[in-house]
Amino acid sequence: MLLAAPFATRAQKYQGVVDKSVAIVGGELITLSDIENEVQMMSARGYASDRNIRCELLENMMKAKLFLMQSRLDSLTVNQEMVEAQLSQQMDQVRTALGGDEGVEAYFRKPLYKLRQEWHKQIEESTLTQQEQQEIAKAIPEVTPYDVKQYIDSSSVDRLPIVPIKYKMSHICMYPDREAAALAVKERLLNIRERIINGEKFSTLARLYSEDPGSARKGGELGMASKSIFWPQFADAAMSLKKGAISQIVETPDGFHIIEVLEKKGDMFNARHILLKPRYTSEDRDRAFKKLDSLKTAIQDTLISFELAARFYSEDPATRTNGGQMADPGTGSAYFEIDQIKPQDYAALKDMQPGDISDPIESLDNEGRDGNLVYKIIRLDSIIPAHTASFERDYTELLGEVRSAKQAEAIDKFIKDKIEVTYIKIDPLFQDCEFELDGWKSKFAKD
């Protein structure tokens, strides 16, 4: 396992040590195998850490045990349906990374049912830990404007958060002829499918024509993976195929596919596919640009307002009803930071002034995995320059900052207080660990 390589040198100290309890937190035990199992899991997922990973894991586990003990005193419970859903997601990720059930069992050297039991318990405990942290966070008093003002007054200017530059924008969008492009790509894909049926190799044609760069170089092969990681349309088509059969055309948000299943095991499969995406003509672009340019001229000549033009002519259903005003789909905010703006849009507006309207550009919408091609003009409505946060302009952001700081302080205080009053013993095997909290230093067992 190449992913495990970064941990090799750090693991040498622990090699050959018989499994044993390495920490006792109240009545809770942490064993060396608990840590090693987590190292394996993180390695399988490609995780890396700048710190000694085992020291980091031990400290996190000991903190978690403190919250877990308190959650039981507070009689907190978990939603078993959510635990099962999270377990299934975790299983699918690991099975996909390691090539199926056999690969998982070989990697962890345990039967799958045993791993499910262990991971189910871990997820339950992790959920209780998170709930207890939320209970502690909820217990802090409501943050008031006085708290925010006090935070500003007591902080030096260089410690106050910097609010990055933000842009407010509106746009008018037009799409290329999707139906014609879809019909053309289906005809190409049908031709490729016919060539495969007539004897040409699927893998050869995938290398030549597939527009999925990750699998094309491997002859279209995706590797053994859980069906849950694919688009439902793709997974359903693959699971319904017999081995060696070639699917009809399957449409997903990525484009259009034909699929050949190589192997199926339970809800996992290995398949080849050829992906083709719709291609749009220069006539599509010229037609849209001409119309958008005419609209821009009409708006600048005050023959029609931008908002009215958006309502009548924009083809973006998410913005045309509110005059083309854009909003961050994640937060709903009308203001965008630079990293929230599509690169194509930012390239058009970065040198504009409020009120300016861009020339027509090609961009992408928010649909599918990468977005669909769209043509648009953008109006820059306003700019909030980057600045040090102030009470008057950024109260909402500062309120969140103060609340988060108070919650973090309450959680840190809980941990430090519990370390002092809880029976804790740590094995000297971890004596040279550089823990984040100094309180652990007095808890090492004597040799």
Rounded mean pLDDT of 6-16?
A: 45
Give the CA angle between residues 26, 29, 34 to the nearest 5°: 145
Let me know whether 306 and 201 are in one domain. no
Confidence of residue 49 (pLDDT cuts 50, 70, 90): low
Rounded mean pLDDT of 375-399?
A: 92
What are the pLDDT digits (tens) for 325-357? 999 887 788 999 999 999 999 999 999 999 999
What integer pLDDT is reported at residue 3 of this predicted model? Answer: 33
Confidence of residue 51 (pLDDT cuts 50, 70, 90): low
What are the pLDDT digits (tens) for 289-303? 999 999 999 999 999
What tokens does 41 get?
């899991």
Rounded mean pLDDT of 157-186?
A: 92
Let me know whether 192 and 321 are in one domain. no
What are the pLDDT digits (tens) for 93-113? 888 888 888 888 898 888 999
Rounded mean pLDDT of 101-130?
A: 91
CB neighbours of residue 435 within 10 Å: 17
Residue 208 has pLDDT above 50, yes or no: yes
Mean per-residue pLDDT of the chain: 89
- pTM over cut 0.75: no
Residue 1 has pLDDT above 50, yes or no: no
Long-range contacts of the stretch 94-102 (C-beta < 8 A, 24+): 94/41, 94/44, 94/45, 95/224, 95/225, 95/226, 95/268, 96/223, 96/224, 96/225, 96/226, 96/229, 96/268, 97/44, 97/45, 98/44, 99/223, 99/224, 100/224, 100/265, 100/268, 101/265, 101/266, 101/268
Let me know whether 330 and 260 are in one domain. no
Q: Which residue has the higher pLDDT, 365 or 194?
A: 194
Let me know whether 171 and 302 are in one domain. yes
Could you tell me the CATH number of the domain that includes residue 12?
1.10.4030
What are the pLDDT digits (tens) for 187-203? 999 999 999 999 999 99
What integer pLDDT is reported at residue 11 of this predicted model? Answer: 46
Let me know whether 201 and 244 are in one domain. yes
Structural domain ending residue among the three candidates 230, 261, 276: 276
Confidence of residue 314 (pLDDT cuts 50, 70, 90): very high
Residue 66 has pLDDT above 90, yes or no: yes
In a domain, 397, yes or no: no
Could you tell me the CATH number of the domain that includes residue 287?
3.10.50.40
What integer pLDDT is reported at residue 178 of this predicted model? Answer: 87
In a domain, 160, yes or no: no
Let me know whether 136 and 218 are in one domain. no
Rounded mean pLDDT of 317-322?
A: 92
Let me know whether 188 and 337 are in one domain. no
In a domain, 116, yes or no: yes
Residue 123 has pLDDT above 90, yes or no: yes
Residue 366 has pLDDT above 70, yes or no: yes
What integer pLDDT is reported at residue 197 of this predicted model? Answer: 94
Rounded distance, CA 408 to CA 386, Å? 27
Let me know whether 76 and 21 are in one domain. yes
Let me know whether 172 and 306 are in one domain. yes
Rounded distance, CA 168 to CA 353, Å? 11
Residue 13 has pLDDT above 70, yes or no: no
Flag the least confident range among 42-46, 47-51, 134-138: 47-51
The residue segments making up the domain with residue 200 are 179-276
Residues 266, 272, 274, 277, CA torsion sign: positive
With beta carbons less than 8 A apart as the criterion, state whether 61 and 30 touch: yes
Nearest Cα neighbor of 316 from 337, 345, 294 is 345
Tally the domains of the chain: 3
Let me know whether 289 and 265 are in one domain. no
In a domain, 161, yes or no: no
Let me know whether 427 and 326 are in one domain. no
Q: What SS3 state is found at 247?
A: coil
Q: What is the gyration radius of the CA atoms in the chain, in angstroms?
A: 29
In a domain, 418, yes or no: yes
In a domain, 391, yes or no: no
With beta carbons less than 8 A apart as the criterion, state whether 440 and 432 touch: no
What are the pLDDT digits (tens) for 390-435? 998 889 889 988 999 999 999 999 999 999 999 999 999 998 899 9
Nearest Cα neighbor of 53 from 32, 35, 78 is 35
Structural domain ending residue among the three candidates 216, 242, 276: 276
With beta carbons less than 8 A apart as the criterion, state whether 112 and 104 touch: yes
Rounded mean pLDDT of 1-19?
A: 45
In a domain, 207, yes or no: yes
Rounded distance, CA 177 to CA 24, Å? 66
In a domain, 150, yes or no: no
Residues 408, 410, 416, 421, CA torsion sign: negative
